[in-house]
Structure formats: structure tokens, C-alpha cells
Amino acid sequence: MTVIGLLTDFGIKDGNVGVMKGVIAGINPDAQIVDLSHHISPQNIAEAALILSRSYAYFPPGTIFVAVVDPGVGTQRRPIAAQIGEYFFVAPDNGVLTLVYQSAERQNKPIKVIQLINPAYWLPLISHVFHGRDIFAPVGAHLSSGANLDDMGTPVDNPVRINFPQPEPISGGLRGEIIHIDHFGNISTNILQIHIAGVEKLTVQMDNTTIPGLVRTFGEREPGELVALLGSTGYLILAQVNGSAAQVLHPKIGDPVMVFFDNPSLKE
């Protein structure tokens, strides 16, 4: 039973995700469909890329991800499917797979990307505005039934990638930025565990708020305190114990976050 993971910005109130699942069930009744998220901010390709890249490796090998955040639907943007390491991805070619490509490259895993041009794997009628239903879900379902990626289209050598800002060195530390705010109001930065490896003490600063040290987990401080810690996928996050850091700090995606390494002048 192959898993198909769905990631969209469709929300769940209008029936569109249900329709994609109906289409999949009609092609492969044995596919096991898992919702990764349907609450990506509308048209936010970067957010979808982030959620996908930090999640996919927890699924069983062979899982097919259908990722539809698709502001260019119906234009010349290409529909693609990709085999990346042990996983498959079906998506518009708009950069939503950028971080998965990078992850595979770091691990020397093979990447094969195909432009979907063979309508034999699509619904008979293709709308201009809902390729999730008409192209991406059917292609994912056919892949889950054992269809061959190579039969679905032609190779793509230069799939679209989008730019993800990296943390930059500053005097005494790093300047990162906010890349995600989660359901709990935890604030994720683009600073990874590897960026601060070996650092014994550090101070995190956002706007006028300074958070000392790093805790291992929320429960090490009292409810209401702001803490900095490494999240479950290795990113440095800011949180409020039993509360919402977002409600305290009012962050926006892209806002700067500074980390200072063991800097006495800051800790007076």
C-alpha cells in the first residue's frame, strides 16, 4: 500500500482536497492518502518548500508527495514529477521542490525530473485553474499504481529553484531571519543546529528582546518565559513556555533574528 502525501494551500472547507482524494481513489483504490498540510499560506511557495523538506524523510520510502501551491496554474509554468532518492514528488515547476533538491544533493542522492506532457495520466478534461485535481492528483495516483515516471513526459534539466536566504556572519555571531511561525506561536529561524555547533553559550536577540542561552526543552523554564531552543528538525526556534511567542513578539516572515556567541558585553 503506497502512501500519497498531499501538501496544498487549498484549505479544507471547499471540498477541493476531498475531490483530489476522490480522483486518487478512482485510479488507485489501494493508495493510502496522508494530509501533510492544506494550510500553507495562499501562494506561498517558500513555506510549502520548507514544510515539505523538513517532513518527507519521515515517510516510508516510495511515498509520493503531491505538492500543489500553484499561483501559475494554467500559464506556461511546467507541471513536473520527480524521483529524488527514495521518494517521488508531483508539483508545479515553481521552486516548491527547491529544498528537497538541496537535501538530496547534500546526500548525493539521484534526482530525476520529468515535465509532465502525457495526458494519458491525467483526467480527460483539464481546467485552467485546478491542476491539482486534473493533473497532479492523477499523476500521483498512477505513480502509486506503478506507472513509470519516464512514460509521463520528458526530462527537465533545469527545474526552477527559489532563493532561501542563509544566515550571515555578523560581529560576534550570526544574523538569521524568521522563516515560519507555527500553530503554537513558536517562531522558527533559518539558523540551523550546524550553524551554532560547538557554541557553548549564546544569546538570541529579536527587536528589543534578548533571550539568554539555549534550553533543551520548554519545561526547563517557567510558564510565560521566552526561551530559545532547537526545534525537532534542527532549526533554532523562539518560544514562550505554555504560551505563544508570536503573540509576545509579533514576528513577520523575514524579520531578522540575531545570535551572539558567548559575548560578555551583551550579557552584563
184 interacts with a copy of itself by CB under 8 A: yes
Residues 6+ apart with CB under 8 A from 261: 172, 173, 196, 199, 201, 202
Residue among 216 and 268 whose Cβ is closer to a copy of itself = 216
Nearer to a copy of itself, 32 or 151 (CB): 32
Q: Which of 105, 220, 254, 267 binds a copy of itself (CB under 8 A)?
A: 220
In the complex, least distance from residue 227 CB atom to a copy of itself, rounded to whole angstroms: 11
CB 39, min distance to a copy of itself, A: 3
Taking CA atoms, 83 is separated from 113, 141, 258, in Å, by 7, 15, 37
Instruction: Record the cell numbers describing residue 120, joined without a space.
Output: 494519458
Looking up cell 508545479 gives 92
Contact residue for a copy of itself among 46, 100, 119, 129 (CB under 8 A): 129
Q: Is 263 in the site for a copy of itself (CB under 8 A)?
A: no
For residue 83, what is its C-alpha cell?
A: 524521483
Q: Which of 18, 119, 155, 165 binds a copy of itself (CB under 8 A)?
A: 18
Name residues whose C-beta falls within 8 Å of residue 89's C-beta, 6 or more positions apart in sequence: 52, 64, 65, 67, 81, 82, 97, 100
Measured from the CB atom, the residue of 119 and 155 that comes closer to a copy of itself is 119
Count Cβ atoms below 10 Å from residue 168 Cβ, excluding itself. 10
Q: Which stretch binds a copy of itself (CB under 8 A): 28-36, 106-114, 153-161, 205-213?
A: 28-36
For residues 9 and 177, which CB has a smaller minimum distance to a copy of itself in the complex?
Answer: 9
Q: Does 189 bind a copy of itself (CB under 8 A)?
A: no
C-alpha cell at 196: 551554532
Q: Which is nearer to a copy of itself, 71 or 254 (CB)?
A: 71
Neighbours of 120 (CB within 10 A): 9
State the Cα–Cα distance between residues 219 and 95, nearest whole angstrom: 38
Overall size of the chain counted in residues:
268
Report d(CA 169, CA 159) in Å as an integer.
30
Q: Which residue in the set 35, 150, 168, 262 belongs to the binding site for a copy of itself (CB under 8 A)? A: 35
Q: Answer yes or no whether residue 154 interacts with a copy of itself by CB under 8 A.
A: no
Query: Using CA atoms, how far apart are residues 73 and 59, in angstroms rounded to an integer?
Result: 27
Work out how close the CB of 102 gets to a copy of itself at its nearest, in angstroms, rounded to a whole number.
18
C-alpha cell at 199: 557554541
Binding site for a copy of itself (CB under 8 A): 1, 3, 5, 7, 9-15, 17-19, 21-23, 25-26, 29-30, 32-40, 42-43, 51-52, 54-56, 58-60, 63, 71-75, 77, 127-130, 133-134, 180, 182-184, 216-220, 229-232, 242, 244
